[in-house]
Structure 1
Amino acid sequence: MIHESNYWKSDLLKLANTLERRLTQTRWNDKNLFTIEKEIFFGFYAIRKLIESKKISDSITQCKHKMKEFPYSGNSESLLTYMKDNEYDLASGETAYLTTIELCNQFIHSYHFLPFLPDEKHLIGFFFCSDRKRTSGIYMITVFDVVNIYRSVGSNYPTIMRRERLPNGKSIISIE
């Protein structure tokens, strides 16, 4: 449980700025790739913790983010853990939408995570999928979208929390 969200949100805003600067980066080595993976995983872990601690507005938690989804075309029985070139049909991408929490879970439970550097110089986005999703498809989200998500969560400070009791005795909490 997060009691004071300011520190987590401040770090998300810093990560957004760092990722934005990476758009101009043209030289990549193993250390850079490790660092960016850590920035993405830490960011989405922080977002999920903030959501679970009720520190983010419902509108941000339930927001659907647009990305591309590419169908799986590999062998689901394969024991290889690295992504092969022909494992996903990257020519047949379709638009997909994930809520903020679904996106967090895909990154946190990722089976594949691969920065998308089409010319080996410029970072465009990330291919990713969870262990459960890996045999049906893989997603691709742009760096711009990740930066926008980090900024919207990092600057969100809800002011109203409502509790509603349902007829069955359960209660719902809404955050605005």
Structure 2
Amino acid sequence: MKVQDPSDDHLGELEHVLMTGFFSIRKLMEARTKLSSTNMKRRCKVRRYPIRSEIKETGPFPDLMNYHQLDKFYDFSKGSIIAKDLSYVCNQFIHSFVFSFMLNERGQVESVILSSDKEKKKFCHTICLSDAIEVFRLIGADYPSDVRMRRNENGEWQVVNSQ
């Protein structure tokens, strides 16, 4: 039984939740004392797809008129799983030039396809929706109660550990 494809309204709402969620996480990370050291160092699993070899040197590359033609630009048969810092993943959402959804065979959102404005000529990433939800769950439950700091050589405070 095929589930009805998500509506544009639902996809727009999901995009909004993901964008604001990852932006909020980045702001918590930038505060340096709002998350535990474990979550500050968290790595996330993403799948990276290279730009197609036949357009790598000469283009055309994704632009305002064609960014939705993902199969034309990225080789989805050559994906590799990599681990990236949570801050990198946050920036992929915040600076995304390409932002799309990958649906499974039942028409449900499975992954988010992203490529930043700076990296769109090299590769795109997919992040499983379940992995993004897990990040939100972990960060949402992170309430550090002990922060250890020291001054660095410039006299500025530096977080040593946060739990």
**TM-score normalised to structure 1 length:** 0.78
Partner-residue secondary structure (3-state), 2:150: strand
1:65 aligns with 2:44: yes
Which shifted more, 72-81 or 126-135?
72-81
Instruction: Count the aligned residue pairs.
Output: 152
1:47 aligns with 2:32: no
Q: Which residue of 1 aligns with 2:132?
A: 146
1:160 aligns with 2:146: yes
Q: Which residue of 2 aligns with 1:14?
A: none
| Residue 107 of structure 1, CA deviation | 0.3
Q: What is the percentage of aligned positions where both structures have the same residue?
A: 26
CA contact 2:62–2:120 (8 Å) conserved in 1: no
Q: Which amino acid aligns with 1:31?
A: D
Q: Which residue of 1 aligns with 2:93?
A: 107
Distance 1:164 1:129, change over 3 A: same
Distance 1:44 1:76, change over 3 A: farther
Q: Distance in 1 between matches of 2:28 and 2:155?
A: 26
Q: Which residue of 1 aligns with 2:14?
A: 36
Which runs of 5 or more residues in structure 1 are unaligned? Answer: 1-24
Over aligned residue pairs, what C-alpha RMSD do you find?
1.9
Answer 1 or 2: which has greater strand percent.
2
Q: Which amino acid aligns with 2:68?
A: M
